[in-house]
Amino acid sequence: MIAAIVGVSGAVGQEFLRILEERDFPVSELRLFGSARSAGSKYRFRGEELTVRELRHDDALKGVDYAFVSAGSDVSKEFAETITAHGAIMIDNSKAFRMDPEVPLVVPECNAEDALVHPKGIIANPNCTTIMMVVVLKPIDSLSKIRTVRVASYQSASGAGAQAMAEVQQQYADIAAGREPKVEKFSAQLAYNVIPQIDVFRDNDYTYEEVKMFDESRKILHSDLRCSATCVRISTLRSHSEAVWIETEEPLTP
């Protein structure tokens, strides 16, 4: 099996690389792709040094069976046809295709069978907060249909990417040294702080991050559940958490 990672230099791309090796994924060849800026970078995989290639509209992905893509929505949209042109299955981590009716949105613990039908050659990965929640909702919904979900998420800096994590670490260092911390990746200083807004607000007074949780959960669970969410950025580097309140049609015994 030949696999590829697109966006390997980012936080998620690095996790792809680590997990493929840690779990001894049956890969006979691994190809790494990135932007012009990251092209030429080198990463080790199973004792071998691999060089990152610049992602272009060419045949560099020919022969690839699975491409793990985490380079942002714009890249996913632009290169989807190039990535899938020779039969590769594109596992996309961005929001680009999540709500496309011809693209399955899959959490294996909940709807693995949906991944078997992928007419565009793309399987979408949900938003991080959605994944956490639906893994809990699915077994409950199988016992009694869920009517309503109210959730508050507390999302670490890792959700905004590797550069955002580095910014928070630098902010802590600057504050400890008595320097004014720089703010570039967030709307305000995140170190020693919480920011009660992730992404911009829509006309329904929910942010895009919050709306993702509604729409994606319904698609994954094949449900019409009602949902309300408040997404908050917190100053930990990794690990999100959520508080979820669930109303079911029938009473359940713990």
Q: What is the pLDDT of residue 253?
A: 82
Report the percentage of the chain scoring pLDDT > 70: 100
d(C-alpha 248, C-alpha 37), whole Å = 50
Contact 68, 3 (CB under 8 A): yes
Backbone angles phi, psi at 153, to 5 degrees: -105, 145
Sketch out the chain's domains with CATH numbers: 2-125 (3.40.50.720), 129-248 (3.30.360.10)
d(C-alpha 55, C-alpha 178), whole Å = 42
Q: List residues bridging with 195 in a β-sheet.
A: 233
Q: What is the pLDDT of residue 131?
A: 96
pLDDT tens-digit map of 185-216: 999 999 999 999 999 999 999 999 999 999 99
Q: For residues 69-93, give the mean pLDDT.
A: 96
Q: Name the DSSP letter for residue 149.
A: E
Q: What is the pLDDT of residue 15?
A: 93
Residues 6+ apart with CB under 8 A from 153: 129, 132, 213, 229, 230, 231, 232, 240, 241, 242
Q: What is the pLDDT of residue 157?
A: 95
Q: Which of 110, 118, 231, 240 is labelled catalytic?
A: 240
pLDDT tens-digit map of 223-249: 999 999 999 999 999 999 999 999 999
Q: Given 3-state DSSP classes, what are the helix, strand and coil percentages for the chain, each rounded to the nearest 5?
A: 30, 25, 45
Residues 6+ apart with CB under 8 A from 210: 198, 229, 230, 231
Mean pLDDT of the chain: 95
CB atoms within 10 A of CB 167: 22
Q: What is the pLDDT of residue 14?
A: 94
Grade residue 23 by pLDDT with cuts at 50, 70 and 90: very high
Question: Is 240 an annotated catalytic residue?
Answer: yes
d(C-alpha 18, C-alpha 53), whole Å = 18
Grade residue 78 by pLDDT with cuts at 50, 70 and 90: very high
Q: Where are the alpha helices (DSSP H) in 202-241?
A: 208-221
Contact 7, 83 (CB under 8 A): no
Sign of CA dihedral 8, 107, 104, 212: negative
Q: Which of 110, 118, 128, 231 is labelled catalytic?
A: 128
Grade residue 74 by pLDDT with cuts at 50, 70 and 90: very high
pTM value is 0.88
